[in-house]
Each structure stands twice: as C-alpha cells, then as structure tokens.
Amino acid sequence: MGTEHRADVVIVGSGVGGMVAALKARAEGLDPLVVEKSPFVGGTSSISGGVLWIPANPLMVEAGVEDSFERAMTYMEAAIGDPGPATSRARKEAYVREGARMVTFLRELGLEFVYVDGWPDYYPELPGGQVRGRSLNVALFDTRRLGGWQGWLRPRDAGGIKFDIPLASMSEVPDMAMIARTVAGKRTLLRVLGRMLRAKATGARPVGMGQALMGRLLLAAQEQGVRIWRAAPLVDLVMHDGGVTGVVVERDGREVTVRADHGVLLCAGGFSRNGAMRKQYGREPASGDWTLVVPEDMGDAISIATAHGAGTALLEEATWTPASVLPDGSPVAHLWERAVPGSIIVDSSGARFCNEAASYMEVGRRIYERHETVPAVPSWMIIDSRHRRRYPFGTAPPGLTPRTWITTGYMKQAGTIPELARACGIDAGGLVATVERFNRMAIAGTDEDFHRGDSAYDRFYGDPTRQPNPCLGPVDRAPFSAVAIYPSDVGTCGGLLTDEHARVLRTNGTPLEGLYAAGNTTAGVMGHVYPGGGAALGPSATFGFIAARHMAGGC
C-alpha cells in the first residue's frame, strides 16, 4: 500500500492528551495530524469532570498556596510508592516538573484555568499532602466560539458523570449537594440557575466540566491550524527497520497510510468497553455496562501496539468508581452520597468493609478486595429517610425520588432494616448488627472501624451542619432505602509501558523507536493509587506535552 498522506506527527485520539500534544507539536514548528475513531472530538475527557491534578501549578502560586517539586515528590512517593516501571522515579519526576510547564503553555494559548482551592488531595495527611489541593478546572465555555466546529465536540449525554444541572463546575459540586442544608448550597444553586437563564436569554451555549476543557482545547486547535480527521479509526502501525514510521487508518470507507516523519503518539484511551480484554487482564467481575467511558474505548491502540512488540503493565487496574445502574441502564457515579450522614455500604453479609467517604478509587478497590472473601459485587448502599430528604442522590434532588426507581427495583425500600435486608438478599442479622454498631459510633462522632470523617478529604463532601463529624449520622429513620453499588470505572489505567519521555517500551525495556503514548493507553504513572482529583487527565495532558516536545527534538 503506497503512502497517501504525510504529517510530522500523527496523534491517535483527541482526548486531553492528544489535543495538548497537537498544540505543543504545532508550537514546536511541527505539522501534527490528529486521527479520531469517533465522529466527535474529546473522547472520555469530554464527559469527565474536566479536572487536572497538577502539583506546584502556577495557579496555586497565584493563590498563595505553598507547593514545590520536592513537596509534590514526597507526596507521590508516599501515596504511590514504586510498584513497577510505570511508576519509576524518573516518570514521577517528569510528571511533576513538566505538568506546571504544560499549564503555563496552555494559558499562553488562551485556556482559562481555575484553581479548585479547597479540594484536598485524596490522602492529604500523608507527607507532602495538600489540604487545599492541587486540582485545576477550566472556566465555562461558550461553544458558539467554535463556529462550524460546534458539532465536533462530543455531547455530554454519551455517559460520564451525570449531574442534572450541567453548568456547575466540579468545584461547585460539594455545595450543590448541600442545596437543602446550607446557605452556600442555595447560593450556588441560584448562581447556576442564573447562568442557565442568561444563556437562554442571550442564545449562549455554555458548557462546563469536561466539555469546557475539550471545547477550549478544540478552539485552540482551530486557531493554531491543527488538522483533525474524525471517524478515522486506527487500523495498524507502519513499521520499518523495527521502528514505527506511520499509521494505517480507515477513512471514508478505505484504508489510507499516513507517514509520520517525527513519530506517532497513541492517546486513544483504554479498554473499559472491551469485555474480552477485561476478562483476560482485569479484575472480576466487571462489565462494560457499569463503565463511565465512551463507547469507543475498546483498547484498539493497546492491542495493535502489543502486536508489534510493545510492553505492558498494570493491565488489571482501572480508576474505580462506585456507581449504581439507573433503570434506563446508564450508570451513575456516587460521590457525596457515600460521605454524608445517614449512609453506609455493606456486602452480602451485611457488614461494612471500608471507609465509605474515601476516594472513589479507594472504595472501588476495597469492593474488589472484599469480594475475594465475601460476595460484594454488588455491594449495597443503605440510606435512611433523612438522607433521602436532605441530599441529592444520583440524578435526583433532595426529597424527590422518581417513581420508576421504586417500581423497577432500582431503589428498594422497607419500613425496617430486616425487611430491607431480605429485599436485597443481604443477611438480615448481619445488617441489623452492623447498623446498630454504626449508629452508636455515628452518634458519638467517631468511626472506630474505618475512620470515616477523620480525613480532610472525607469532610470535603460531608455535611458541614453535622458536628462533630460531618460524615457521620445514624441510619435510623424509616423508611430505609438500598441501591446496588458496582465497581464502575472512569477508564482503565493499565496499558503500554512508557518511559519519562513518553516513549513506548518494548517487552525487553528498550524504546520502540518512533512510538509514543499517553493517557489511559499507557500504564499510569500513579500505579494503583489515585492521589487527587484529576489524576487521570493531569498525566494524560502532561505526557502528551512531553511526547510532542521529544518528537520535536527536545529533551
């Protein structure tokens, strides 16, 4: 097959890592081509919270928050350790050093970042941890600025974090969860409703979270003249003398070859939707029906690269997120519901097994660990009537439970704890004992079993009106409700093994010349841990940035 197209750099995938790489390549004087499997740009990044965890970032400095390379490395070493080559000291150092530079670069291109001041690292009490956090969002974005490219941005209804009022940023979500409890919650709700009314009156098309992030990156790409091919899935890599020199993609119903003079970057997501790969590599049980990623997340790039000798690591791991499956079949992640008073999560024996208010990754891992000895997939979130009256649950506002939730059995209800246990198939005696013990601890304000509410991260989603512990309150007010909780994910985080330059490594540890990777296509630099909000998008953007500079001849 003859070469039909040519670019300096070919980037496979248009999520945050791919788009940042394209912009950096363009700034380095290269001609990048982005090829995207979907008709839409943005991948799972566009339906995410749009948060980047970037240590020592410039917005922290501007906010007067002390951070440094040394402090960030201390925290990463304490939280992550070094379980393998993906989390090497060199890769962690590259991430911390270059992440801040990446943010500065994007700001110079016009991206408007917002420091999420007060969102703690997920293990803030560890050495180097930040109680004020290291997470960045972007400001709301009016998609009208994209002109004829408006239809390119992936719509939010393709999955992801569900929230009925989409014009809230992730920094506002904790207050939004308190709309029935605090003045700050009510003010935030009014602010978001005001945005919606202004948009309707002016014809604006504002978006937030992941769509705002990807909309701004897409606008920058448009302004910088980046070429993007949509509906162009990767078919194969072109090899010559043991290295990668281009790609074969399908376009307009035929296969075309694109020569890449400076390299190919694979940034095409993981394999959350690929049942066969999950069964071969991942934890069991798992299902694509639970996952919170786009349908195209099938592991194509990983499979193709490994067929050409690329090494892999951490294939069993994902960014786990406790979720339930709504009556329409769509999963919904649970963040605050686990942390506020009046709730517990139990296994089939009726026992608690984790700190419910811990990070989503932590709780997801605990579900799988528990399932090795006691059936815990699904687990069950048990709440009382005060919880349902006071706090949003999934897509439902406080006090308003959709009738279909009850009629379909999505949410089971009963007048007593034993009746609820029988409705869920939980051991009734075990659940009664657990609830009685939990209630005694909740009234005292101390979780002696799992320390819920001890961490600043736990309290971030807690109810500040509840003292002494904003995360604890008894489950004692009938009727009681239960929802099945599954170890969903927002992406697999095992894949191709890469070095500190984002070069893909062979199974023998040597670089596969001409091939780079970033994002969920790779074995993550965070290993088995998720140290803070945005710890998936942050490394994806940073290593995309690093890859583009290296392909341009930088170090």
Q: How is 166-217 classified by DSSP, letter by letter?
A: TT--GGGHHHHTTTTT-HHHHHHHHHHHHHHHHHHHHT--EE-HHHHHHHHH
B/e letters for 119-142, b = 16+ CB within 10 Å, e = fewer, are bbbbbbeeebbbebbbbbbbebbb
Measured between alpha carbons, how far is 179 from 186 in angstroms, rounded to an integer? 5
**pLDDT value of residue 163:** 45
- Non-local (6+) Cβ contacts of 192 within 8 A are 165, 167, 168, 172, 176
**pLDDT value of residue 44:** 94
Q: In this structure, which topology does domain 321-488 adopt according to CATH? A: Flavocytochrome C3; Chain A, domain 1 (3.90.700)
**pLDDT value of residue 1:** 45
Q: Please tell me the CATH superfamily of domain 1-157+208-317+493-555, with its number.
A: FAD/NAD(P)-binding domain (3.50.50.60)
**Which residues of the chain carry a pLDDT beneath 50?**
1-2, 158-164
User: What pTM did the predictor assign?
Assistant: 0.95
User: Which of these, 429, 346, 439, 327, lies nearest to 386 by C-alpha position?
Assistant: 439
Torsion of Cα atoms, 159 then 163 then 166 then 170, to 10°: -100
**pLDDT value of residue 166:** 60
With beta carbons less than 8 A apart as the criterion, state whether 272 and 288 touch: yes
Measured between alpha carbons, how far is 149 from 41 in angstroms, rounded to an integer? 10
Residue 343, helix vs strand vs coil = strand
**pLDDT value of residue 440:** 98
**pLDDT value of residue 157:** 66
